[in-house]
């Protein structure tokens, strides 16, 4: 047998190995060459869904491939997050990220995915939560809420859109910082909670600004303070909670894009700049602002740091309030 014939099996094996190694690189270099799925882990019509559809349309133009929104609601956003966490890290399955990613590990006994399976690509905007009361309540300030709650511990109550949500935890953070005892009354969604405040069934609530801004502008709800460090452009006359005496109070319903951990660098190098361009497009900025959202752009490193800070805060609040969900 000639040396060449002897070596042929080895050459074929080596070629197969090289082809296998080269395939992911080739796919990354040509990414994207087919439609991308953007999973929204909440039902259609809400803030995260609206922002997801706004971003998807513009991202598709940037990348030259369709970006298809796929709503996967359930378990506080965890089902959609798990779907993306289990997907290949090839850039064709993305997640519309929200504070659920930092709240869920603090409040759920067991998650259907591991936090390390997902990584942020960018944060694109944030929405303040706002402290609301019925104008007929006689409450005109944050100090009034605290004074009334301390004068009759447990008699005041607050509404939320459900256990373990950012609105629930915003109120528990408020209680933690003020020492006020206010009873939690969870409702099935923000609309039902707002109705309870309007009817006088409950005294106060925190809500995402886009859900409440129509009622605020119509005078049916009174906004006492926003939860972000700066005042909202949509409500410039409403103080922050920090201005009202709660130093360091910082909560926002941010949104952005995450992906299965381990995206190829070549994919990330194209996806991240495309998202940054999308976030700065005048039409996108205007679309966010119309819904009371504040555009921003944080890259993957800054987004991970912001999310880690959020996660640490919610862990403390969940322990304080003894929140644990199945």
Domain at 129-226, CATH class: alpha beta
> Does residue 23 have a pLDDT over 60?
no
| Predicted model pTM | 0.85
CA dist., res. 303 & res. 299, Å (int): 6
Task: Using pLDDT thresholds of 50, 70 and 90, give the confidence band for residue 13.
Answer: low
Residues of the chain with CATH 3.40.190.150: 34-126+253-321
Lowest mean pLDDT among 15-24, 72-81, 98-107, 138-147: 15-24
Q: Which of 208, 215, 255, 217 is nearest to 236 (CA)?
A: 217
Residue 289 burial class via C-beta count within 10 angstroms: exposed 0-12, middle 13-18, buried 19 and up: middle
Tell me the per-residue pLDDT of 180-231, one tens digit each, with 9 for 90 and over: 999 999 998 888 999 999 999 999 999 999 889 999 999 999 999 999 999 9
34-126+253-321: what fold?
D-Maltodextrin-Binding Protein; domain 2 (3.40.190)
Residues of the chain with CATH 3.40.190.10: 129-226
Tell me the per-residue pLDDT of 244-264, one tens digit each, with 9 for 90 and over: 999 999 999 999 999 999 999
Q: Please name the residues in contact with 109: beta carbons below 8 A apart, sequence gap of 6 or more.
A: 324, 325, 326
Tell me the per-residue pLDDT of 118-154, one tens digit each, with 9 for 90 and over: 999 999 999 999 999 999 999 999 999 999 999 999 8
């Amino acid at each position: 047998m000639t040396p060449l014939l002897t070596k042929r099996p080895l050459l074929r094996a080596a070629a197969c190995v090289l082809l296998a190694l080269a395939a992911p690189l080739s796919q990354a270099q040509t990414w994207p060459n087919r439609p991308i799925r953007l999973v929204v882990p909440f039902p259609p019509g809400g803030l995260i869904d609206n922002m997801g559809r706004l971003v998807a349309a513009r991202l598709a133009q940037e990348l030259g491939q369709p970006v298809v929104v796929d709503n996967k609601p359930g378990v506080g956003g965890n089902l959609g997050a798990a779907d993306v966490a289990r997907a290949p890290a090839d850039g064709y399955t993305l997640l519309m990220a929200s504070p659920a990613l930092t709240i869920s590990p603090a409040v759920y006994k067991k998650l259907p995915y591991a936090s390390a399976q997902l990584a942020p690509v960018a944060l694109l905007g944030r929405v303040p939560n706002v402290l609301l009361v019925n104008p007929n309540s006689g409450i005109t300030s944050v100090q009034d809420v605290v004074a009334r709650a301390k004068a009759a511990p447990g008699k005041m109550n607050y509404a939320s859109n459900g256990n373990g949500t950012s609105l629930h935890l915003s109120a528990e953070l408020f209680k933690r910082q003020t020492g006020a005892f206010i009873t939690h009354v969870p409702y099935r969604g923000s609309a039902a909670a707002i109705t309870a405040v309007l009817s006088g069934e409950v005294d106060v609530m925190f809500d995402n600004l886009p859900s409440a801004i129509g009622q605020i502008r119509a005078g049916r709800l009174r906004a006492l303070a926003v939860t972000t460090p700066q005042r909202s452009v949509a409500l410039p006359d409403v103080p922050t909670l920090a201005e009202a005496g709660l130093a360091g109070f910082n909560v926002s319903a941010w949104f952005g894009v995450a992906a299965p951990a381990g995206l190829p660098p070549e994919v990330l190098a194209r996806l991240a700049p495309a998202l940054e361009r999308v976030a700065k497009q005048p039409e996108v900025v205007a679309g966010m602002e119309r819904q009371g959202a504040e555009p921003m752009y944080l890259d993957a490193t800054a987004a991970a740091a912001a999310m880690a800070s959020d996660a640490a805060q919610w862990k403390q609040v969940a322990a304080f309030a003894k929140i644990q969900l199945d």
